Structure 1
Amino acid sequence: MQTNVGRPKDLEKHKQILLAARNLFLKYGYHGSSMNQIAQEAGVTKLTIYNHFQDKATLFTCAIEQTCENLMETRPFELNADSDFLEAFAQACQIALNIVYLPEAVKLEHLLIELAAEQNPLALQFYNASHQKMCDGWEEFFQQAATLGFIQHGDVEQQRLLLLSLLLGLRHLEILLGVRAIPTSQQQQEIIQQSIELFMLKYGSHA
């Protein structure tokens, strides 16, 4: 990645460019957003953008990674021997749903589908910056839980796949397609409770 952000003015322009790129990519998609549009939105020249970012793909990657990092700031809780595991589990599930159902997150999902449909290599970079980070967080959470004896030791990838399938599943696809509304707070609580109950039936320490 080519950047040139040594001075405060450069840092400010860098931020302006990333914000403009993020807004346009989420609104119009990768192909629907031109460097000219981004320059206009950021209030800079196109040459200034190229002084900060090597090309459109690099700018896209940086803008999306920053957006994903902002969305993923809150991660599942650290557990200890005195933790109320079921309460921590429920709170971690709620955090995950809060992230997934943010308007920006839904737009990001649509953008990922667009890139994946055309087999664009940017899709993998996008996935690693967003979905993979959430997956890693859940696997760390389950590893801690097993080490502390809250759940059975098992394949943390399978545990993560089961949990996310229960929390999201076909329902999430329907939301992305616009045929189902985002669950209300009460509905989310019911989804979380049912998901944890089913998960613990398989992986609970006394299962």
Structure 2
Amino acid sequence: MNDATPIKRGRKYDQVLEGARSVFLADGYEGASVDAIARAAGVSKATLYSYFADKRLLFMEVAKAECSLQIEEADAILTDEANPREVLCTAADRMLSFFLSSFGQSIFRICVAESDRFPELGQEFYDTGPKRFRDKMVEYLQCAAAEGDLVIQDFELAADQFAELCKASLFPELVFGIRKTVSEAEKKRVINGAVETFLARYGATGAS
């Protein structure tokens, strides 16, 4: 974080973070008020501000914590003994669900909006979430290739390609306000297309 606004970690830190998480997930970044967050956390506004100087910093801390949960799930998904198609479908579903959530979109918008004034926000969020997930994906792809299930030379590029395939048209359309909702059928279509395309490029014959 910015050295000018360090985050204080005291006995009510987790309490503030959990209250903020519940409000942000329910109302999004713009709809979440500091008053509502303080009420949900069971603390005064003064206490809240003693931990976080503004709502933006609080949101990013919640985002990083949420990403840590996503990484824990990734550990379970990407070390599965199932075949690559099943593993990739599950990973794509989790990844796309996060991309398409109002929470995930808010994180993206804030990182972009604040990138000039606070470039460390985007870097810290990337290191905490997307980069760690990418590293887990690379590890999985390396293991799958070693088992003969996939044929890959550039594992980092393959991991990045899979993530982009999972976004397809749905993520940009939501971010740019072209659409407001996504149906399960549309989501499934993108997931299946991403996995089929990935395996067509990297799947070993008869292994997928």
Range into which the TM-score falls when normalised by the shorter chain: 0.7 to 0.9
The residue that corresponds to 1:78 in the other structure is 79
Residue aligned with 1:74, SS: helix
Would you say the 8 A contact 2:60–2:107 is kept in 1?
A: no
Cα drift, residue 158 of structure 1? 0.7
Change (3 A) 1:161 1:71: closer
TM-score (norm 1): 0.73
Would you say the 8 A contact 2:78–2:87 is kept in 1?
A: yes
The residue that corresponds to 1:97 in the other structure is 96
The residue that corresponds to 1:114 in the other structure is 113
Unaligned runs of 5+ in 1: 6-12
Larger radius of gyration: 1
Change (3 A) 1:68 1:74: same
The residue that corresponds to 1:65 in the other structure is 64
The residue that corresponds to 1:27 in the other structure is 29
Would you say the 8 A contact 2:78–2:137 is kept in 1?
A: no
1:113-132 paired onto structure 2 within 5 Å: 113-116=112-115, 118-132=117-131
The residue that corresponds to 2:153 in the other structure is 154
The residue that corresponds to 2:43 in the other structure is 44
**% identical equivalent positions:** 22
Cα drift, residue 150 of structure 1? 0.7
Would you say the 8 A contact 1:112–1:127 is kept in 2?
A: no
Alignment of 1:2 with 2:8, yes or no, is: yes
Letter in 2 for 1:3: R
- State the superposition RMSD in angstroms: 3.3
> After superposition, what is the alpha-carbon deviation per residue over 1:112-164, rounded to whole angstroms, capped at 9, x for unaligned?
22222545322211222232232223222212211211101321111012112
The number of aligned residues is 194
1:157-168 paired onto structure 2 within 5 Å: 157-168=156-167
Letter in 1 for 2:47: T
